[in-house]
Amino acid sequence: MNTPHVPIAMVLITSISARGGWRFTPYSNACNAPESASPPPLPTYTIHIFHAGLTADDLKKFAHILEPCAHFVNLDFINIETYLEKIHNPFSPAFLARFSQMVLVKYFLADLFPQYDRIIWTDVDVLFLDDPTLDFLSLDTAQNSYLHAVFTHGHEHAFEGFWVCNLAYMRARSFSQKVQDYIHAHPQIQLEMDLISFVWPNEISQLPLKYCVFPAHYENSALEYVHPNDVASLQESLDRPIILHYCGFHAVPKPWDCPLSPKSGLWLETLLQTPFATDFFQDWDKKQSEFVAQTIHQAYFSNEYSTLTLIFATPSKFFKNYFKVVKKRLLSEGWGALAVRVKVKLLKIFSAR
């Protein structure tokens, strides 16, 4: 029986010290096989990392992380700068201020990997909390679908954080050329998802929500974007996500920008198992004031709040918390102690006169 192979592609826009995170959980269905059956061979993995500026130190740290998995995981670092120079940049300065032209890489995977018929694409700011390879290995490349992704409600839009790409179908239907044609016809693209507008509605398949769960889902602030097909399994997806995507969706800060944000504990726990933890916690005392400011801003002035909320509800929320703190401090030793302190203060005032 042939050993299955799982290729995974991702892009790192800058030096990746302490950005993103992986819990690499090797696939195994041997536990589910009958005792009399021979367990199927475990897959091997190749993680293709596109970059434009990784340092030698970064490469060493990556290799160190995956040393325990070296017998079945291979790392492949690909400098993508020269390739990107051949592609017209369709994005506005506002888009590039937040993202990068390197997000275009995933639209040309069929050209970049002629040796594969299928591949997993993932953003870097994710945690793999469960194994996605069972669904990947069951992908039928004869299916009339360019890719599989999580859908959002109310829009013809697939979240970009995790795709299972059918490279065989992409090549047969000139997917890369169609993207190139769209780029040249639209020199200023505002939304990345516009690049695959031609796949809707018949040539894209839906993955369940568990393949792209956001921290905002746990705050109930992003539930309006859950696709109707995912509503019935929503709780299961939140309880057992496969991919947790720290994309900053719905104004929830990423954990490396604000370690007190929702689901940041999982990321910090994973970070501590890597050499990048030293980079992140360097100058921690200086960063604390930034984290506190970010936490306060998120609590009172989050972008998800409406103008009316900021005008009326935010001041009420602030003064409620303010008086709660004042009350706790004044009554920390009880009413009797408070009365004594007030008496002492009054005596000092009157004696000074």
Q: Which of 35-39, 235-239, 257-261 has the lowest mean pLDDT?
A: 35-39
Lowest mean pLDDT among 179-188, 295-304, 320-329: 295-304
Contact (CB, 8 A) for 190 and 97 = no
C-alpha to C-alpha distance for 105 and 97, rounded to whole angstroms: 18
pLDDT at 126 over 80: yes
**Residue 91: strand pairing partners:** 189
Burial of 248 (0-12, 13-18, 19+ CB in 10 A): middle
Alpha-carbon span 305 to 79, nearest angstrom: 41
In which band, very low, low, confident or very high, does the pLDDT at 30 lie, cut at 50, 70 and 90?
Answer: very low
* Residue 235 clears pLDDT 90, i.e. is over it: yes
List helix spans (H) across the chain: 56-65, 81-84, 93-98, 109-112, 133-137, 167-172, 175-185, 234-239, 264-271, 277-281, 284-301, 307-308, 314-330, 334-352
What is the pLDDT, as a whole number, of residue 20? 46
Give residue 53's pLDDT.
77
Q: State the Cα–Cα distance between residues 150 and 230, nearest whole angstrom.
A: 9
Give Cα 141 to chain centroid, integer Å.
27
For the chain, give every domain's residue range: 5-284, 308-352
Contacts of 104 (CB under 8 A, 6+ apart): 84, 87
Give the integer Cα–Cα distance in Å for 322 and 328.
10
Q: Give the residue with greater pLDDT, 38 vs 9.
A: 9
Does residue 119 register a pLDDT over 60? Answer: yes
- Name the CATH superfamily, with its identifier, for domain 5-284: Spore Coat Polysaccharide Biosynthesis Protein SpsA; Chain A (3.90.550.10)
